[in-house]
Amino acid sequence: MSCSSCSTKKNGVPNGCKSNGNCGTGTCGSGSKLAVFDWLSNMTLPSGEAPFNIYEVRFKNGRKHFFKNTENLSISMGDVVAVEGSPGHDIGIVSLGGELVKVQMKKRKVTEDSEDIKKIFRKASQKDIDIWQTARDKELETQRRGREIISRLELKMKLSDVEYQGDGKKATFYYTADERVDFRQLIRDLASAFSIRVEMKQVGMRQEAARLGGVGSCGRELCCSTWLTDFRKVNTAAARYQQLSLNPLKLSGQCGKLKCCLNFELDAYLDALKAFPKQDTVLKTESGLAVFVKMDIFKEQLWYTYKDNSFKWYKLTLDQVQEIIDLNKNNEEAAPLEDYESDLAEEVKINFENVVGQDSLTRFDAPKQKKGRRRNNRNRKKQAVAKKTNQPAQKKQPQKKQTQQKGKQQAQQKGKPAAKNVANKPNQQGNKPKPKRNNRNRKRNGNPNSKNENKQQ
């Protein structure tokens, strides 16, 4: 079963989850923000023991409170209930019940006789749910108009979220601000604009990100909006121990603070760093003093360079560095770093193998050629074809010699001297002979003199 927002429209187009993953029935995805699985639901209580009458109720954006079932109603997880508000009543969804509520109360340091634990009035009727839905639909418009009022009053604050109470008579405005803000006039303007009871609550940057939700740089939902409840302090020292670059754009999350996940793997890095030497240790070699540059903790690799020549880095293993340090303790200089680096065996990288016969994954990465280049290629092809056609024409020169020899033989048979090439002989006046012309070009150009010369011959 799902809520109405997960259904499709009349034309078959899906509506989409308007609750941003915070489904009203607790069935979409993981159920809801900060969802808890009741792994004791199938177990029966011992004989003579009454069930625990305090339930955990969830409201908008993962806000949860504990309420007491004084009326002994039959309530289970996922039921919509009407609970005591201040003033009036509020509508929420039961997120947990039974013995696990004791664990959550102990975790939040809430006792059973605390004044913060209010009553459950009844299970919500259809009328209560309709009023609740109409109040939820007004939240976006109220937030937009509230921001306009804040900008008109020139207050240095940011309105992040608005939450209406289940009966629609009260609204809570969540805001963030760096300094103290006097919003007494703001409360008057909001109350007169919306005709409701106004409550202002200041939240931090991380609480704001947890309420709004989102997707982190890792591609998953934010930890603070899914399972993380206690926000511990994060320092830049955690990034230094993990050999991360101190870039605020990469180390900060959507809240603008340092990412909480920097603390998750810090213990593993601290345990691995116990075997590494200190970074200020100087290695004494025959080629000079070497200083530390960087390291890869889990691959156990370190990079060193010479003080005098810091342009090249030398990759060493952890065992090699420990060996050099032991030699230096015995007042002995180690071999140059080039010798240690040459001893390292290069690992063969396994590239992508085209097993199935697929095309290259980067076949669309090459840019398309411009149209001008194609035209140039066409011109080059034409020139190459023209050269090929001209080459056999040059090889046909021996045929001309055969025709001249035939002409001489015919003239001798008739008793006439054969015509000699006059152009090659010098003139009687001492002028240079004229260069020999290509008869083939004459025929192409259509020169009429070439026909006359052939007739004279």
Do residue 119 and residue 141 come from a single domain?
A: no
Which has more pLDDT, 428 or 306?
306
CATH number at residue 146: 3.30.300
**94 inside domain:** yes
Do residue 289 and residue 266 come from a single domain?
A: no
Band (pLDDT 50/70/90 cuts) for residue 191 is very high
Q: What is the pLDDT of residue 324?
A: 93
**427 inside domain:** no
Do residue 271 and residue 282 come from a single domain?
A: no
Over the stretch 80-92, which tens digit does the pLDDT of each residue have?
A: 999 998 888 999 9
**445 inside domain:** no
Number of domains composing the chain: 4
pLDDT for 286 beyond 70: yes
Do residue 94 and residue 156 come from a single domain?
A: no
pLDDT for 271 beyond 60: yes
CA distances from 32 to 252, 254, 451 (A): 25, 20, 102
Which has more pLDDT, 205 or 364?
205
Domain's final residue, options 303, 320, 342: 342
Give one DSSP letter per residue of 313-372, joined into a string: -EEEEHHHHHHHHHHHHTT-PBPPHHHHHHTSPPPPP------S----TTTTTSPPPPHH
Domain's final residue, options 322, 342, 362: 342
Do residue 165 and residue 186 come from a single domain?
A: yes
**425 phi-psi bin (left φ>0, alpha ψ -120 to 50, beta other):** beta
φ, ψ dihedrals at 56, nearest 5°: -100, 125
Over the stretch 4-16, which tens digit does the pLDDT of each residue have?
A: 555 555 554 545 4
**438 inside domain:** no
Q: How many CB atoms lie within 10 A of CB 85?
A: 17
Structural contact between residues 110 and 66, judged by C-beta atoms closer than 8 angstroms: yes
Over the stretch 122-133, which tens digit does the pLDDT of each residue have?
A: 999 999 999 999
pLDDT for 345 beyond 80: no
CA separation for the pair 57, 64 (Å, rounded):
6
Q: What is the pLDDT of residue 443?
A: 52
Least confident of 88-92, 162-166, 245-249, 364-368: 364-368
**401 inside domain:** no
**442 inside domain:** no
Q: What is the pLDDT of residue 243?
A: 87
Q: Is 139 exposed, middle or buried (0-12, 13-18, 19+ CB in 10 A)?
A: middle
pTM for the structure as a whole? 0.60
Residue 241 sits in which domain range?
232-275
- When the pLDDT of each residue in the chain is averaged and rounded to a whole number, the result is 78
Do residue 117 and residue 102 come from a single domain?
A: yes
19-256-23 Cα angle (round to 5): 10
Domain's final residue, options 124, 157, 180: 124
**116 inside domain:** yes
